[in-house]
Structure 1
């Protein structure tokens, strides 16, 4: 099967764009958390936001690396790479955001003040 032409559809491109949207959404959440968590966490809000930005950059890099590997695998007929580490990173980022959301709601802190 090496050298056989793969399905020329846009599935890999759509997947790449979906990961890009996911990463950008997490990045916006990380940056917004710095502003919104400042009344609750003080200076630690900057650490939370920075950790989120670093995680997003790592996810972006991993998604791009995986997209190139998928393109190469489709062109050469190799097995497609797994997405386990990237999915784990998204799950951890989402769970972290949920925990911080619960802390904000349970703490009764009004983060947006007129």
Structure 2
């Protein structure tokens, strides 16, 4: 079996990956809105407002990374995801999950 060369046709893979990033961004937005709703459901204490601010910050970082990746995938020959971007996405996802557990418990 031959190894693909530098002139390899990527086909529709970048398009599928770009659409997957869009779906993930939409899902993250829904989770952030639901978390904000839950965080601000109480009396409006400073803790709740700080929690809401953290949620918004996490969501904005995720949107920034996702938008950069979506734009990059629109080019003819996209590069791989940078390690810093991958780490940012993982941290945002884990932070939202930890926040969700803190709100539930």
Could you tell me the TM-score, scaled by structure 2's length?
A: 0.71
Q: Give the gaps of 5 or more residues in structure 1.
A: 74-79, 107-114
Q: TM-score, normalised by structure 1?
A: 0.67
**Distance in 1, Cα, partners of 2:84 & 2:35:** 24
Partner of 2:15: 13
Larger radius of gyration: 1
Unaligned runs of 5+ in 2: none
Runs of 4+ in 1 over 6 A off after TM superposition: none
Equivalenced residues, count: 96
Superposition CA RMSD, Å: 2.4
Aligned to 2:87: 88
Q: Secondary structure at the match of 1:72?
A: coil
Residue 94 to residue 61, structure 1, CA distance change in 2 (3 Å): same
CA displacement, residues 4-52 of structure 1 (integer Å, 9 cap, x when unaligned): 4725x32111110001111111122112211111238422233023213
For 2:33 and 2:103, the matched residues in 1 are separated by: 16
